[in-house]
Amino acid sequence: MSLKEKHRPIELDAVSLERERKGLEEEEEAQNKSLLFKGTLLAYELSFSFEFVITVVFWVVLVPFAPDVDAQLNHDLPTKFTISLILYWAEVHLVPMVLTAMEVYYNSISFDKRHWAVPVGVVFLYIITDIVVTRHRQIPAYYIAPWDDMISYVVAFFALGVVFAGFFVGAAIAQKKKGKIESVYKKSM
């Protein structure tokens, strides 16, 4: 067997991989044109961004102030942090974020960085709706945001910043995954 024949199957494999890559690129292009795919992509980006803001705001803003606010508003919030309470809160406000981050990492869908305004806009509309409803009913939906003091607006601004950052954290996770996939592909060539 000559040296040329010995390397021929590798060349064929590289050609096959190149054809497969081109086919996948064409399929991805067709998917990007699909309205259903675009809606799925937006929902995917929204879910990560919302989980991110829910997790960060809960652990950074709501948990530290829970005992003080309970004393002021008498909402029957726990004044002692027990292991079972912290585990429950982690199950409700940490595990979904971790699972969503894993989904972003392992799924083949990438974030479109041009969509950052969608989650920020939705959260902004949510905040406006909360302000209107709270003022109308005179009962705050969230004890930390009664909308009659400056801290409510600081928390709202913080939440908008966190959802903006969360979108780009998701985009970075997706891009890191994409880079690993491309490097595996290049090594196989």
Q: What is the pLDDT along the chain (189 residues), one digit of tens a residue?
A: 555 555 555 555 665 666 666 777 777 776 666 778 788 888 889 999 999 998 998 888 877 766 555 444 455 555 566 787 778 888 888 999 999 888 888 887 788 888 899 999 999 999 999 999 999 999 888 877 889 989 899 989 999 999 999 999 998 888 877 665 555 445 555
Q: Is the dihedral of CA 178, 179, 185, 189 positive or negative?
A: positive
Do both 15 and 102 map to the same domain? Answer: no
Q: Please identify which residue in the block is written with the tokens 């937006």.
A: 42
Provide Rg for the chain, Cα atoms: 24
Please check whether residue 45 is in contact with residue 115, taking contact to mean a CB–CB distance below 8 angstroms.
yes
How much is the pLDDT for 173?
Answer: 87
How much is the pLDDT for 89?
Answer: 82
Quote the pTM value.
0.66
Do both 55 and 21 map to the same domain? Answer: no
How far does CA 11 lie from the centroid of its chain?
41
Please check whether residue 28 is in contact with residue 73, taking contact to mean a CB–CB distance below 8 angstroms.
no
Q: Supply the range of the domain harboring residue 110.
A: 38-188
Cα–Cα distance for residue pair 173/186, rounded to 1 Å:
20
Residues whose CB is less than 8 angstroms from the CB of residue 131 and which lie 6 or more positions away in sequence, other chains included: 147
How much is the pLDDT for 184?
Answer: 45
Do both 91 and 106 map to the same domain? Answer: yes
How much is the pLDDT for 35?
Answer: 78
Q: Helices in 58-149 by DSSP H: which ranges?
A: 63-73, 83-93, 95-106, 117-137
Determine the number of helices (DSSP H) and then strands (DSSP E) in the chain. Answer: 7, 0
Do both 105 and 62 map to the same domain? Answer: yes
How much is the pLDDT for 6?
Answer: 53
* Domain tally, the chain: 2
Do both 126 and 48 map to the same domain? Answer: yes
Helices 95-106 + 83-93 axis angle, to 10: 30
Do both 51 and 74 map to the same domain? Answer: yes
Do both 94 and 174 map to the same domain? Answer: yes
How much is the pLDDT for 104?
Answer: 85
Cα–Cα distance for residue pair 120/137, rounded to 1 Å:
26
